[in-house]
């Protein structure tokens, strides 16, 4: 016996079990609570939809049909293992079933044959509809079977139940055959194995390393011709002068130093001429082309 999970807790339980969950439309308020009580909950019931296609199956289970209003379950499990939540609260999925089966589920013991239809199952069971034609030929992909296992285990884990709290519709209501295509004892075995270990949570995205800081340029970028004016003091001027001296273009009596001077201009004019410039192009005021060729070390 358990109080039904809230919408937030149901969603968290499913995702914590590693499921890809899609919240379909207004699933949080889509229920049949006005037709009867929801809870206490005792177990999880598995069905097949008798339909094909994810979109149409999800809409069918959300809305219901002319003979049976929706929601027709709490979650629809697609072929690819995605779980679409379509209802939260009482849902038209279990119908009337055997009270002996209900007592067995509560006690978590082997289920007796279902030979009566006297007890309201919509009140007591979460329901999952798996997309399948139910003809015994439509395949059950492993991704879908794994999602059934995970969805049932998620709710059992949230309530502290064992795999004995999971049953098929065919074990509850006489005349039902769903889910057709796999055995419920086999599925309960898978669920039990899962409950025996830690839940497989979604993989944590790898931590992104901090963005590398841009490396400092090896050479001083061209500061612009206007930088080189009378009275300018900068370590860049000193570094430039040292490079001019190393290139055999230094015209310094003392230095070079940090203050831009006539000696710096004359020295740079010698470098410009060495680079092939002449006339006004060798006026001693650095330009970008000659500056880049000089390769003044970064300061």
Task: Give the pLDDT mean for 111-115.
Answer: 96
- 100 and 148 share one domain: yes
- 162 and 235 share one domain: no
Q: What is the pLDDT of residue 121?
A: 97
Q: What is the mean pLDDT of the chain?
A: 92
In a domain, 211, yes or no: no
Q: Is the pLDDT of residue 259 over 60?
A: yes
In a domain, 157, yes or no: yes
pLDDT band for position 202 (cuts 50, 70, 90): low
Residue pair 42/165 in contact by the 8 Å Cβ criterion:
yes
Q: Is the pLDDT of residue 203 over 60?
A: no
Task: Give the pLDDT mean for 86-91.
Answer: 98
- 139 and 252 share one domain: no
Task: Give the pLDDT mean for 49-56.
Answer: 96
Task: Give the pLDDT mean for 45-52.
Answer: 97
Which residue segment(s) compose the domain that 281 sits in? 225-294
- 190 and 238 share one domain: no
- 239 and 284 share one domain: yes
Q: What is the pLDDT of residue 205?
A: 60
pLDDT band for position 215 (cuts 50, 70, 90): low
In a domain, 281, yes or no: yes
- 165 and 60 share one domain: yes
Q: What is the pLDDT of residue 207?
A: 60
CATH code of 44's domain = 3.40.80.10
Task: Give the pLDDT mean for 194-223.
Answer: 72
- Global pTM reads 0.68
pLDDT band for position 298 (cuts 50, 70, 90): confident
Number of domains composing the chain? 2
Q: How far apart are CA 46 and CA 27, in angstroms?
A: 19
In a domain, 206, yes or no: no
pLDDT tens digits, residue range 5-32? Answer: 999 999 999 999 999 999 999 999 999 9
In a domain, 261, yes or no: yes
Residue pair 19/128 in contact by the 8 Å Cβ criterion:
no
């Amino acid at each position: 016996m358990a109080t039904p999970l809230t919408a937030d807790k149901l969603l968290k339980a499913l995702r914590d079990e590693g499921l890809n969950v899609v919240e379909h439309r207004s699933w949080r308020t889509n229920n049949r609570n006005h037709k009867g009580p929801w809870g206490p909950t005792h177990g999880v019931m598995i069905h097949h939809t008798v339909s094909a296609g994810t979109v149409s199956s999800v809409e069918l289970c959300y809305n219901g049909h002319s003979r049976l209003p929706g929601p027709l379950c709490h979650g629809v499990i697609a072929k690819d293992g995605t779980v679409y939540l379509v209802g939260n609260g009482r849902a038209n999925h279990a119908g009337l079933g055997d009270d002996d089966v209900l007592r067995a589920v509560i006690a978590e013991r082997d289920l007796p044959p279902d030979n009566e239809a006297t007890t309201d199952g919509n009140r007591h069971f979460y329901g999952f509809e798996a997309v399948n034609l139910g003809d015994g030929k439509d395949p059950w992909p492993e991704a879908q079977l794994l999602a059934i296992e995970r969805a049932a285990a998620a709710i059992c884990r949230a309530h502290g139940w064992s795999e004995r709290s999971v049953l098929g519709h065919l074990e509850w209501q006489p005349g039902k055959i769903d889910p057709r295509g796999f055995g419920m004892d086999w599925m309960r075995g898978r669920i039990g194995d899962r409950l025996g270990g830690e839940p497989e949570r979604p993989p944590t995205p790898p931590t992104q390393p901090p963005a590398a800081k841009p490396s400092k340029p090896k050479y001083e970028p061209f500061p612009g011709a206007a930088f080189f004016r009378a009275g300018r003091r900068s370590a860049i001027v000193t570094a430039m002068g040292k490079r001019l001296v190393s290139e055999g273009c230094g015209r310094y009596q003392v230095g070079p130093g940090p203050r831009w001077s006539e000696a710096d201009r004359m020295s740079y004019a010698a470098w410009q001429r060495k680079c092939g410039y002449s006339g006004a192009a060798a006026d001693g005021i650095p330009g970008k082309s000659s500056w880049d060729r000089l390769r003044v070390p970064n300061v």
